[in-house]
Amino acid sequence: MIIRNCCLLLEALSIVLCLHHLYGERFKLDIRTVNLLAVDMIMMHMIDFYGLSGIISILIYPFIVIYCGLKFGFKIKLMLINIVLCVIIIGGIQLIVFSPICYILNMHNIVNDNSFAVSIAVFILVAFILPFFNIKNLSNFLQEKERMLIISIISCLLVIFFIIISYKRKKLMELNNTIILFSCIILMITLSIKLIQYKMKATEIETELKIHKLYSDSLQGLIDDIRLKQHEFDNHINAIYSLHYTCKSPKILKETQKNYCESIVDDNHFIKLLSSDNYVIRGFLYTKFEKISKMGIRISYQVVLKELDIGVPIYRLVEILGDLINNAVEALIKDGVRKKLHVTIMETDKFYLEVRNESPYIEYDTLNKFFNRGFSSKGENRGFGLYNVKQICERYKLNIYCENLEIDKENWLVFRVQWKDKN
């Protein structure tokens, strides 16, 4: 009985010391620690005395949770991580020392309680060796949600594996193991679903951050361009104002002012975008069009935007726009002859987005392949832009069309993304 009590005490002390190491706190024997040790020993005695199932021993964990909360603070996430790590570490150390100690005791014919020797060895390792490994860093490392989920899933798999091995060896499934097995399976499935959801959310956030960077770059370019044009417009106003001094007649003045203003309008073809209500779209299109126009591509556009209340994140809309425009520009550059691009974004009774470029006539069978992953007529390692557009459209239940369209006896390749009635 004395040996059993000593084993229980040493095991409880090992758990408490391990928790202190994980929290990075020095061990102090206070009333909270004494109460936890007492509760642990009483519960173990009751299990032994009344012949209760060992599964009842899990009831000690609520007391460990309370102890951690009172001792180190009620940070639920950190608390759960440290308790799980404590169980894994203590269990792992017990497995490591059990076989050598049993072998040594049996080899020297020492009649002793193996569990007592194991308990002493575990306590010594936890108290004097474990601090050198700075396991607090492990606790901090696992606070990242993805890592925590992966480790938890692996732990469940290991438990399931050992239970199955035990069953194959004994040809008998004990009640305790059955309960643990099904609990681990359910937990593993739940954690796997959580991990998948987390990965999807992380991918979404990563994409959103990339688009936000695009926003910031576009807006910064827009601000710089507006500052430059403000200076240019001041010069234009002075030039127009000064014309009445240099023109010899009202007729010449009128004609000169008309020609000068038309040249300014042509040079600032995209300035109308700045009147759009949606600053993200206007900033993106303005900087995009300015860049494309320098390639010698003639751009026309029609943009009517209001609230953009269409149930699709704005960054996804920018992603669709960017991929469709880039695809059209690449086709025009490859063609080398046709140089016209048109973009339409309309928000009236319906919302639709259209990007079209001059193009040779494309057969219907080829049009159907445009949205296939990796398909491209522009070379290898291409064809992911349109595939990405299709994936986004399917996710948000949007309709996407691709067709040839004849306008003024010229063929255009049209990509149209359309939403249902907003009403």
pLDDT digits (tens, 9 = 90+) for 285-298: 887 888 888 888 88
* Res 150: pLDDT: 79
CB atoms closer than 10 angstroms to residue 334? 11
**Between residues 32 and 223, the one the model is more confident about:** 32
For 22, 185, 260, 339, 384, the CA distances from 27, given in Å and listed in that order, are 11, 36, 84, 76, 58
Whether 415 has a pLDDT exceeding 90, the answer reads: yes
Q: Kindly give, in sequence order, each residue whose CB lies less than 8 Å from that of residue 365, ignoring residues fewer than 6 positions away.
A: none
- Listed range (300-309, 333-342, 352-361) with the worst mean pLDDT: 300-309
pLDDT tens digits, 70-80: 888 888 878 88
Q: What angle do CA 241, 245, 248 make, to 5 degrees?
A: 125
Q: How confident is the model at residue 381 (pLDDT cuts 50, 70, 90)?
A: very low
Whether 254 has a pLDDT exceeding 50, the answer reads: yes
Whether 5 has a pLDDT exceeding 60, the answer reads: yes
Task: Report pTM.
Answer: 0.51
- Of the candidates 17, 152, 132, 137, which has an alpha carbon nearest to the alpha carbon of residue 84? 152
**Between residues 112 and 413, the one the model is more confident about:** 413
φ and ψ of 75, to 5 deg: -95, 95
Whether 324 has a pLDDT exceeding 90, the answer reads: yes
How many angstroms from the chain centroid is the CA of residue 186?
25
pLDDT tens digits, 19-75: 998 998 888 888 888 888 888 778 777 766 665 555 556 667 788 888 888 888 888
Whether 268 has a pLDDT exceeding 60, the answer reads: no
DSSP string over 364-380: HHHHHHTTSTT--SS-T
Sheet holding 410-418, edge to edge: 298-304, 340-347, 351-358, 410-418, 399-407
Q: What would the mean pLDDT of 401-422 be, rounded to a whole number? A: 84
DSSP string over 118-161: HHHHHHHIIIIIGGGG-THHHHHHTTSHHHHHHHHHHHHHHHHH
Structure tokens at 378: 């522009």
End-to-end CA distance of the chain: 79
Whether 133 has a pLDDT exceeding 80, the answer reads: yes
Whether 422 has a pLDDT exceeding 60, the answer reads: no
Q: Which residue shows structure tokens 């009202």?
A: 250
The CATH code belonging to domain 270-423 is 3.30.565.10
Distance CA 221, CA 379 (A): 31
Structure tokens at 294: 């320098």
Whether 238 has a pLDDT exceeding 50, the answer reads: yes
Residue type, 135: I
Contact assessment for residue 46 and residue 52, using Cβ atoms and an 8 Å cutoff: yes
